[in-house]
Structure 1
Amino acid sequence: MRNPRTLCVNPNLFSEAIMKIIKMGFDPSSLMFAHGLRRLLGINKGIWEAKLAVYRSFGWSNAKILSLFRKLPMCMGALEKKISIALDFFMNKLNWTPVDISKYPTTLFLSLEKRTMPRCSVFEVLLSKGLMKKAGMGKALKVSEDVFLKKYVVKYEEDLPQLLKPSLTVNYLINSCGLSPESALRAAQYPTILLLSLEKRTMPRCSVIEVLLSKGLMKKGQMGNALMKAEDVFLKNYVIKYEEDLTQLLMIYQSKMGVL
């Protein structure tokens, strides 16, 4: 069990919790049983009821709440405010039903600002063009950043370049390159950056920049300028310059470019 303190509770309360979690439909032989038990023991009755009330306020029945809890015990671990904000976005903005959410329960607790909302701005465009179905949103929210960019952005960049580029460039700079929202917006203010190919230029260069930032050899404020440099200048100033100390830089860059 990941939390040893679960075993340090009153034996009677522990036994009652085990019986209750079994009645909820958890399989004692599954790992999810331990997660569910830990959540149940870690929340007092008043807070538990308060969280149930949040779900009910959005039209969730007890059966649907229980079904979600069995799939994702952490759904009762988040603060009431976070649960409410997430449910409001998915149910009132995206028109998802409890059934939709239960199919992809982890999406409910992804970062709204850094992941869900930026990706949904892309989905909105793809849905309007008939290039995506609503049923595919759950899976698209779960995939890694690289997979998302390849499958939902790069694939359509020739047909929808200006529509997708600005928000996706900023989103990529934040999530995959580690920039703060302020730094990403600052970098994206360079008009050329918004016209660059994410797959062939921005992503390979970000892989190099990430290494240089981690070694203190570059500042985030220099990123926009580095992304705009001509290929030979970028290689000279940001790769070859450090190849003796960071031999992996050229290999990383070439692999991302598809040269290797």
Structure 2
Amino acid sequence: MLASRVASICRRRRLAIPLPQILAGGGTNPARSSPVAVLLSHGYYSTAAAAAPDPEPCPATVSYLVSCGISPAAAAAASRYVRIRDRDRADAVRALLREYGFSEAEVTRTVRQDPFLLNFDPDRIIRPKLDFFVSLGFEPRFIAAEPHILARSLDNHLVPCIEFLRGILGSDDSVRTAVCRVPRALLVDLDNNMRPAVEAFRRHGLPEESIAKLLLIHMGVLMVPLDRIAEAFEDLKELGLSVTDTAFLYSFRVICSLKRETWVRKVALYWSFGVCEVDLLRAFKTQPTILLVSDESLKKKFRFYLDLLKLDIDDVMAQPMTLSLSLEKNVMPRCAVLSLLMREGKIERKMNLLPALLSNSTVFSERFVWKYAKDVPDVVKAFEGKIKFQGFGDREFERMSHHTTGAKS
């Protein structure tokens, strides 16, 4: 029954785009090649500012942007869309950012992402918005992460949006947490995007407290088109998830983040490694973010677990957190530690590996690093990633159904 639900959704998604075309991959979005072009396409600036790009870069603008720490190529691309009309004003904008605690790196990042801001009146246009965000407890890196926010009207956009979010989330602390996680969501229109999205959540039966939690999880759901929101509710219903299920909100966030063709491609990728539909659905409900792992990362992780560690695909899918962990930063250093301890005879060569790899960092370090650091000093280097994992040799690990074999006393 569960398998048929997954297959049903996948078949429905295949109707929109042929599977061979999906698996072949698509091209990049031309608009994404220029951040300034993206700004213009969203209408954050006036029609006058959004004029057609000039065929040639402006040397004076390129020179100024390079002096701000921007690469010549990026400066040349930006100068086709924006002109620095007054260097003194541009300098004053940068000085204002420093006054509000921006580091030089954050000033550079802000200018690189939104050079239009250099033409704004620093005291009349930018300072009031910085004061507003400071009053809410936002730090400079929030603005540096999404400086286009400073191009939005304070009275007509930013204040009403924050008030709307406060009405749902209940406090400035929660608003700050939600916005800082997805600052670009604060760019969308209140009446055309935010309100309709929240009303759609309510129409589909999501309780108020769940809506608040969803925005805390990922406020980007407010940017999702209404038809996609309806599809996401229907998809999760077909997968057997109701709005009262613990996994629903995280699953909803993931489903809304995926294009239909991406969903089909990722399911096909899991199938290619021998994952059955029932196991994929179970893993998705346990760890929805496994569908957000990039294709290349997923292939690399499966090859590591199946080919190098010789684990069974069923055991990996029974612990889907393994697919969310970083191989380089988390899994491989732990494997290096365990491999050292096995060679030194400190722990059994036959053990249940996955619980050790998935354990809390503090628990792992206490059990396998600091306990043996005096006798095997290299375990500290291995845990820090300074000794690379070379494999466990010809051996098999216990299946997940077996009991863990502990360290020697």
- TM bucket (normalised to shorter chain) is 0.5 to 0.7
Give 1:37 deviation, angstroms.
Answer: 1.2
1:169 pairs with 2:380:
yes
Counterpart of 1:257?
A: none
How far, CA to CA, are the matches of 1:171 and 1:27 in structure 2?
44
Counterpart of 2:289?
A: 74
Q: Which runs of 5+ in 1 are unaligned?
A: 175-180, 186-260
Does the 8 A contact of 1:127 with 1:133 survive in 2?
Answer: no
Higher helix share: 1
With 125-134 and 79-88 compared, the bigger mean Cα shift is at 125-134
How far, CA to CA, are the matches of 2:337 and 2:228 in structure 1?
48
Equivalent pairs, count: 170
| Aligned partner (choices 207, 218, 234) of residue 19 of structure 1 | 234
Counterpart of 1:134?
A: 351
Counterpart of 1:3?
A: 218
Q: Which amino acid aligns with 2:381?
A: V
How far, CA to CA, are the matches of 1:107 and 1:39 in structure 2?
18
After TM superposition, the score normalised by the length of structure 1 is 0.57
Q: Which runs of 5+ in 2 are unaligned?
A: 1-213, 388-409
Give 1:132 deviation, angstroms.
Answer: 5.9
| Aligned partner (choices 87, 94, 114) of residue 302 of structure 2 | 87
Identity %: 25
Does the 8 A contact of 1:25 with 1:70 survive in 2?
Answer: no
> How do 1:1-260 and structure 2 match up within 5 A?
1=214, 2-126=217-341, 129=345, 131=348, 133-135=350-352, 137-156=353-372, 161=375, 164-166=376-378, 168-172=379-383, 174=384
Q: Which amino acid aligns with 1:46?
A: E
Does the 8 A contact of 1:104 with 1:139 survive in 2?
Answer: no
Does the 8 A contact of 2:232 with 2:256 survive in 1?
Answer: yes
Does the 8 A contact of 2:254 with 2:291 survive in 1?
Answer: yes
How far, CA to CA, are the matches of 2:363 and 2:318 in structure 1?
20
How far, CA to CA, are the matches of 1:127 and 1:170 in structure 2?
16
Give 1:126 deviation, angstroms.
Answer: 4.9
Q: Which amino acid aligns with 2:284?
A: F
After TM superposition, the score normalised by the length of structure 2 is 0.37
Give every structure 1 segment of 4 or more consecutive aligned residues whose post-TM-superposition deviation is greater than 4 Å: 125-130
How far, CA to CA, are the matches of 1:170 and 1:125 in structure 2?
11
Does the 8 A contact of 2:337 with 2:382 survive in 1?
Answer: no
SS at match of 1:92: helix
Question: For residues 19-78 of structure 1, what are the alpha-carbon distances to aligned partners after superposition, in whole Å with 9 as ceiling and x for unaligned?
Answer: 211221324213420111111121112222222222122111122221111111110011
Question: For residues 73-110 of structure 1, what are the alpha-carbon distances to aligned partners after superposition, in whole Å with 9 as ceiling and x for unaligned?
Answer: 11001110011111111111112223312332212222
User: Could you say which structure has the larger radius of gyration?
Assistant: 2
How far, CA to CA, are the matches of 1:85 and 1:127 in structure 2?
25
Does the 8 A contact of 1:64 with 1:98 survive in 2?
Answer: no
SS at match of 1:134: coil
Give 1:157 deviation, angstroms.
Answer: 5.5
Distance 1:142 1:72, change over 3 A: same
With 100-109 and 51-60 compared, the bigger mean Cα shift is at 100-109
How far, CA to CA, are the matches of 1:101 and 1:36 in structure 2?
20
Q: Which amino acid aligns with 2:278?
A: A
How far, CA to CA, are the matches of 1:117 and 1:27 in structure 2?
37
How far, CA to CA, are the matches of 1:151 and 1:133 in structure 2?
17
How far, CA to CA, are the matches of 1:27 and 1:98 in structure 2?
28
Give 1:7 deviation, angstroms.
Answer: 4.2
Distance 1:46 1:156, change over 3 A: same
With 74-83 and 104-113 compared, the bigger mean Cα shift is at 104-113
How far, CA to CA, are the matches of 2:246 and 2:370 in structure 1?
38
